[in-house]
Homo-oligomer: A and B are copies of this chain.
Amino acid sequence: MIATDLFNAGKGPVLVVAPHPDDEVLGVGGTIARLADAGREVHVVVVTRGGPPKFPLEQVQRIAAEAKQAHDLLGVKQTHWLEFPAAELPELPHSALNASLGKLVSELGPELIFAPHPGDIHMDHQLSFLSTLVASRPHQTDYPATIAAYETLSETNWNAPYLTPPFVPNVFVDISETINRKLDAFALFASQVKPAPHERSVESLRALATLRGATVHRPAAEGFVLVRSVI
């Protein structure tokens, strides 16, 4: 159902939806690098951007700079900033997020989209997921053929077991060749990295890759939940 040609050049663009910068690295970093290595054109869209007074301007600029470095390392072709206010998506008109994300999807025409998991504890993640689905509705001949949800350490495991949607991966991407680049890219987000045993630490991210890999007999992997794939 899933061809190894996924990683060949010549396919359409790939889009990774990140509610906040670094989510895309935590959840899809190794796959982004593998896709880029295979010649695929990978885009990242960052839904929100921090701003004063909650987030000092300096910090915001620093994170943007870190994102640029990390994305360069992974081989991201272009980063799109929607600049909705961070941690305020629930207060914004839902239709505005739908419109903004819909416009990007329509113009870019991605074949493959990675979205955050709807069971993440952060409402920005939940709403970004829903808007991604709205933007990808199969109501015409062309639409993103495949949508998958990724996991975000310090978001996905902190919601309520059995009361909110669980993350149980059914797609595993072998990232044995790119796990180190993923960890390096995450380390570049110096403002976001926490020391172990915080879940948002390099050690925790490596353990996750080892575990997801072992589940399918690979040295390292990223796990995803398939939302829809049309062949």
How many subunits of this chain does the assembly comprise? 6
B88, B164, B206, B213: which contacts A197 (Cβ < 8 A)? B213
B91, B154, B226: which contacts A226 (Cβ < 8 A)? B226
Shortest CB-to-CB span from A100 to chain B, Å, is 14
Interface range for A: 35 or more
Give chain A's interface residues, CB within 8 Å of chain B: 1-8, 11, 87-88, 90-91, 93-95, 112, 117-119, 121, 123, 129-130, 133-134, 137-141, 143, 145-146, 148-149, 153-154, 157-166, 168-174, 194, 196-201, 203-204, 206-208, 210-211, 213-219, 221, 224-231
New contact pairs (12) apart from A1-B146, A118-B160, CB-CB < 8 Å: A2-B230, A3-B6, A90-B94, A133-B158, A162-B170, A163-B227, A171-B229, A171-B230, A174-B231, A198-B214, A207-B207, A207-B214
